[in-house]
Structures are given as structure tokens and as C-alpha cells.
């Protein structure tokens, strides 16, 4: 026989399963109450008969007494199913809760016919419960799970959920936003409310939110959300500072440009470069927002070309300066010319080969060579550098 400590741990684990069942159950949506596991017939565990107490919500006013019933809870691939003892057999949870709801409603109707409403308010008959007993103090709430809410149009459901979580159109993963305090409901909690609601909520959140990054957290974010959620991403934002060129040469430029310039990276950094490029290749984005407030105007074209070459597909590029959208002409004077890689590398070499960022952008060998040597290498691979 298990020790008392082991039994308490097993009971706590069973209550955890009951809570998961209550969050994804598909029983009759109008029944409200609580379920309290009392004692097992043999042992605590899934599939074992457990004696529980069902407390309808209306028993607060003495109209619906609690019910003791034997249940069995099953879990198959994260989907919970419950059966209830009915006579000499077992009954599915939906039929059992429907029957109890009808009995509860009939009892309430009879009470209203027998007593005056004023008498009920003046002297309510409250049921006595064994709530002081630590065993009976743990309960799981049984409530409607979005029965009417799911019948609303999907667009209206999403607007209601957006208000519930105080959803922001622009989010910076990895950076806590303390300006507005805690949201009404965390997004992680929203995803646990209902499987059917979560089914369309998660893709909607990824489709309609602009995820903004500076020079950190992008790789971790794309890796953690997984390939399914990456396919739902539609908007990304990048906020670069004065080291935008160094960042793009290290992580975003194509491999042939990277090998030509030879920025100093160790083996671990090369691994992260390969990973971020593979993750970005999977994306099909409707819009990319680039913050150019701290980027030199003549460098914007190289930054844009590096990003576009890395991301799988981009329909539109929008520029921002300190949070405000600006026309393309104001972002960079040379954006309309659509230069190829040879011209972009030439402009980069002429402006920064002897500049403060030269040690981070070019290898020592590349810095010591004249431009004609690099140009000769690129002309040999004109199929790429001419694009």
C-alpha cells in the first residue's frame, strides 16, 4: 500500500488531469459547478474508478445538493475523456451532465413555485460543506466553454480576444514591455482556454502582429515557434543602429558575398549564421518594416538588399524613422536604382574599407587588396554578382 505522502502526490496529479480535462472538455455547455475527488476505489490514476463529489453551482442557495458519483478519466494523445457510473454500467460525461442540468433546472423551478422570492433572499438555506477538510478543499471548476462564443463569426471572435489580451500590433519578443503594465490576459493563457478557439487564434496572432527585432532574439524566436507557426508569419520589423552594415554582413548577406568580404567570425558564429539564414528562407512575408533612423542614408540600399536576399519572399518593404513611416525617397537616395551586388559591394568598399567598422566588415586580406582584385573575382561569377 502506498504511503500517505505518495497518495497525496498521486491525488494532486489526478487533480491536474481534471483541470486539463475541464479546459478542453466538450460536455453540455450549460452545466456549472465543481468536481472534488474524494477517494479512489483502488488507486489514483487515469482509467481507475475514482469517487468524486459534484457540486452544482445552484447549491449555494440550497436548491441543488451535491452528488457523489464514480468516474473514470482517460487521456489519449492529450485529449481527455470521462465516463460516469450510472446504475450497473458507465455513461458518457455529456449525457450525464445534460441529465443533471435538467434535474437541477427542474428543482429550481419547483423551489420558486413553493417559496416567495423575498423569503429566499431573506433566509437563504446554505448547504454545509466539508471545505475545512484539506482533502475536500481542492476542486476543479466545471463551466461552459465558449458555447455561444464559438457561434460568432471568426472575425468577431478575434476582435473580442484582441481586446481581452490588450493585443499590441507591434511586439518585440524577448523584451518586456513595462510601459502599459500587465495585460488584461496573457497571450499564453488565451491559448489554453479552448482547443477550438486556439485552432484559429494562434495563426491569427502570427498573421496580424508585427514582430520587431533589433540585433538580438530573432534566431531564438524563429526557432522556438516552430515551422508551422513560421509559415503564419506575415510581418517583421528590424531596428538597426549605426552598426547595421556589420550586422548585415555577418548574418544576412549571401554566402558568396560573405566569402568575398571575409568578416571575422568564429566557428560558433558561423553556425548561428547558417541557422538564421535557413530559418529566414522559410518565411513568406507580406511586409518588412526597417527602422533607418540611425542608419546612414547611403547604406540603406545595402541593408535592404541583404535582408531581401535572405528572406524567402517579401512583398513589400516599408521604412520608418523613429517609429514613423517615411517614403522610400527619404530613407535612401539610391534605392530606386536597383544596383546589383557588384555595385553594392563597390560602394561598401569605397566608403568603409578604411572606416571605423572596417575590421568588422572586411578581413585583413580584403582590406589590404585594391578594389580591382575584388572586382576581378566578382566578374568571374557574374551570374550571381550581376543580379
In angstroms, how far apart are the furthest CA atoms of the chain? 102
Distances (CA, A) of 355 to 126, 135, 375: 82, 72, 20
**Is the model's pLDDT at 148 over the cut of 70?**
no
In a domain, 20, yes or no: yes
In a domain, 259, yes or no: yes
Query: 76 pairs with which residues across the strands?
Result: 79
Residue with grid cell 527619404, as numbered in its chain = 330
Q: Based on the fold, state whether residues 131 and 273 are members of the same structural domain.
A: no
Number of neighbouring beta carbons within 10 Å of residue 230: 18
In a domain, 65, yes or no: yes
From 95, 127, 142, the end of a domain falls on: 142
Span 278-331, pLDDT tens digits: 999 999 999 999 998 888 888 888 999 999 999 999 999 999 988 888 887 777
Q: Based on the fold, state whether residues 136 and 221 are members of the same structural domain.
A: no
From 110, 142, 174, the end of a domain falls on: 142
Q: Based on the fold, state whether residues 369 and 260 are members of the same structural domain.
A: yes
**Is the model's pLDDT at 137 over the cut of 90?**
no
Q: Is 164 in contact with 193 (CB distance < 8 Å)?
A: no
Q: Based on the fold, state whether residues 234 and 365 are members of the same structural domain.
A: yes
Q: Based on the fold, state whether residues 236 and 356 are members of the same structural domain.
A: yes
| Phi, psi at 321, each rounded to 5° | -130, 110
Phi-psi region of 198 (alpha: psi -120 to 50; beta: other; left: phi over 0): alpha
Give the chain's length.
387
In this structure, what C-alpha cell is assigned to residue 173?
A: 519578443
More confident residue, 83 or 26: 83
Q: Based on the fold, state whether residues 217 and 298 are members of the same structural domain.
A: yes
pLDDT recorded at residue 164: 75
Query: Average pLDDT for residues 23-30, to the nearest whole number?
Result: 62
Q: Which 8-state DSSP code applies to residue 161?
A: H
**Is the model's pLDDT at 234 over the cut of 90?**
yes
Determine what percent of the chain is predicted with pLDDT higher than 70.
Answer: 80
In a domain, 304, yes or no: yes
The parent domain of residue 287 ranges over 209-385
With cut-offs at 50, 70 and 90, classify the pLDDT of residue 18: confident
Closest CA to 44 of 14, 4, 83: 14
In a domain, 132, yes or no: yes
| Phi, psi at 87, each rounded to 5° | 70, -125
On the CB side of 49, how many CA atoms lie within 13 Å of its CA? 10
Closest CA to 245 of 177, 194, 297, 314: 297
In a domain, 169, yes or no: no
**Is the model's pLDDT at 346 over the cut of 70?**
yes
In this structure, what C-alpha cell is assigned to residue 185?
A: 490576459
From 142, 159, 176, the end of a domain falls on: 142
**Is the model's pLDDT at 385 over the cut of 80?**
yes
**Is the model's pLDDT at 193 over the cut of 80?**
no
Rounded Cα gap, residues 99 and 110, in angstroms: 17
With cut-offs at 50, 70 and 90, classify the pLDDT of residue 61: very low
**Is the model's pLDDT at 179 over the cut of 50?**
no
CA torsion, points 233, 235, 239, 245, in degrees to nearest 10?
80
More confident residue, 272 or 197: 272
Nearby residues of 220 by Cβ (< 8 Å), 6 or more positions away: 173, 174
Mean pLDDT taken over the chain? 81
Span 218-227, pLDDT tens digits: 999 999 999 9
Q: Based on the fold, state whether residues 223 and 334 are members of the same structural domain.
A: yes
Rounded Cα gap, residues 375 and 366, in angstroms: 12
Span 258-289, pLDDT tens digits: 999 999 888 899 999 999 999 999 999 999 99
Q: Based on the fold, state whether residues 225 and 93 are members of the same structural domain.
A: no
3-state helix, strand, coil in the chain (%, to 5): 50, 20, 35
pLDDT recorded at residue 257: 93
Strand 140-142: give its sheet, edge to edge.
Answer: 89-92, 79-86, 67-76, 50-56, 33-40, 140-142
Rounded Cα gap, residues 120 and 114, in angstroms: 10
pLDDT recorded at residue 311: 94
Q: Name which of 127-131, 188-192, 196-200, 285-289 the model is least confident about.
A: 127-131
Q: Which 8-state DSSP code applies to residue 42?
A: S
Indicate the pairing of strand 140-142 with strand 89-92: unpaired
Span 86-121, pLDDT tens digits: 888 888 888 888 888 788 777 777 766 665 554 545
pLDDT recorded at residue 185: 60
pLDDT recorded at residue 153: 87
Q: Based on the fold, state whether residues 102 and 234 are members of the same structural domain.
A: no
**Range list of β-strands (E), 190-273:** 210-213, 235-239
pLDDT recorded at residue 241: 83
In a domain, 162, yes or no: no
Q: Name which of 29-43, 89-103, 323-337, 359-373 the model is least confident about.
A: 323-337
pLDDT recorded at residue 39: 85
Q: Based on the fold, state whether residues 216 and 295 are members of the same structural domain.
A: yes
**Is the model's pLDDT at 19 over the cut of 80?**
yes
Burial tier of 174 (Cβ tally within 10 Å: 0-12, 13-18, 19+): exposed
Q: How many domains does the chain have?
A: 2
In a domain, 151, yes or no: no
Q: Based on the fold, state whether residues 258 and 368 are members of the same structural domain.
A: yes
pTM of the full structure:
0.63
Residue with grid cell 499564453, as numbered in its chain = 188
pLDDT recorded at residue 231: 94
Q: Based on the fold, state whether residues 134 and 218 are members of the same structural domain.
A: no
Q: Name which of 1-10, 62-71, 189-198 the model is least confident about.
A: 189-198
Amino acid at each position: 500500500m502506498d504511503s500517505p505522502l505518495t497518495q497525496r502526490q498521486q491525488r494532486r496529479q489526478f487533480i491536474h488531469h481534471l483541470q486539463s480535462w475541464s479546459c478542453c472538455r466538450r460536455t453540455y455547455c450549460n452545466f456549472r459547478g465543481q468536481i472534488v475527488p474524494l477517494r479512489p476505489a483502488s488507486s489514483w490514476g487515469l482509467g481507475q474508478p475514482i469517487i468524486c463529489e459534484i457540486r452544482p453551482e445552484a447549491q449555494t442557495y440550497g436548491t441543488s445538493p451535491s452528488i457523489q458519483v464514480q468516474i473514470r478519466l482517460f487521456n489519449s494523445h492529450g485529449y481527455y475523456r470521462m465516463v460516469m457510473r450510472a446504475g450497473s454500467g458507465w455513461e458518457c460525461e455529456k449525457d450525464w451532465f445534460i441529465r443533471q442540468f435538467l434535474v437541477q433546472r427542474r428543482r429550481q423551478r419547483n423551489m420558486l413555485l413553493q417559496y416567495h422570492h423575498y423569503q429566499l433572499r431573506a433566509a437563504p438555506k446554505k448547504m454545509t460543506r466539508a471545505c475545512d477538510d484539506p482533502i475536500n478543499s481542492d476542486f476543479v471548476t466545471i463551466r461552459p466553454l465558449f458555447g455561444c462564443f464559438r457561434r460568432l463569426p471568426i472575425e468577431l471572435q478575434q476582435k473580442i480576444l484582441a481586446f481581452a489580451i490588450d493585443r499590441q500590433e507591434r511586439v518585440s519578443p524577448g523584451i518586456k514591455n513595462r510601459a502599459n503594465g500587465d495585460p488584461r490576459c496573457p497571450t499564453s493563457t488565451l491559448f489554453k482556454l479552448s482547443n477550438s478557439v486556439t485552432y484559429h487564434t494562434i495563426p491569427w496572432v502570427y498573421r496580424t502582429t508585427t514582430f520587431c527585432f533589433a540585433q538580438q532574439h530573432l534566431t531564438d524566436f524563429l526557432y522556438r515557434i516552430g515551422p508551422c507557426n513560421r509559415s503564419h508569419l506575415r510581418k517583421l520589423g528590424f531596428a538597426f543602429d549605426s552598426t547595421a552594415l556589420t550586422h548585415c554582413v555577418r548574418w544576412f548577406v549571401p554566402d558568396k558575398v560573405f566569402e568575398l568580404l571575409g568578416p571575422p567570425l568564429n566557428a560558433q558564429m558561423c553556425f548561428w549564421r547558417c541557422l538564421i539564414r535557413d530559418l529566414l528562407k522559410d518565411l513568406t512575408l507580406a511586409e518588412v518594416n526597417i527602422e533607418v533612423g540611425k542608419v546612414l542614408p547611403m547604406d540603406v540600399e545595402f541593408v535592404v538588399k541583404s535582408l531581401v536576399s535572405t528572406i524567402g519572399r517579401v512583398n513589400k518593404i516599408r521604412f520608418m524613422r523613429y517609429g514613423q513611416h517615411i517614403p522610400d525617397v527619404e530613407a535612401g537616395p539610391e534605392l530606386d536604382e536597383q544596383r546589383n551586388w557588384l555595385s553594392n559591394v563597390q560602394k561598401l568598399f569605397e566608403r568603409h574599407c578604411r572606416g571605423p567598422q572596417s575590421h568588422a566588415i572586411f578581413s585583413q586580406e580584403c582590406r589590404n587588396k585594391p578594389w580591382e582584385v575584388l572586382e576581378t573575382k566578382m566578374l568571374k561569377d557574374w551570374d550571381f554578382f550581376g543580379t
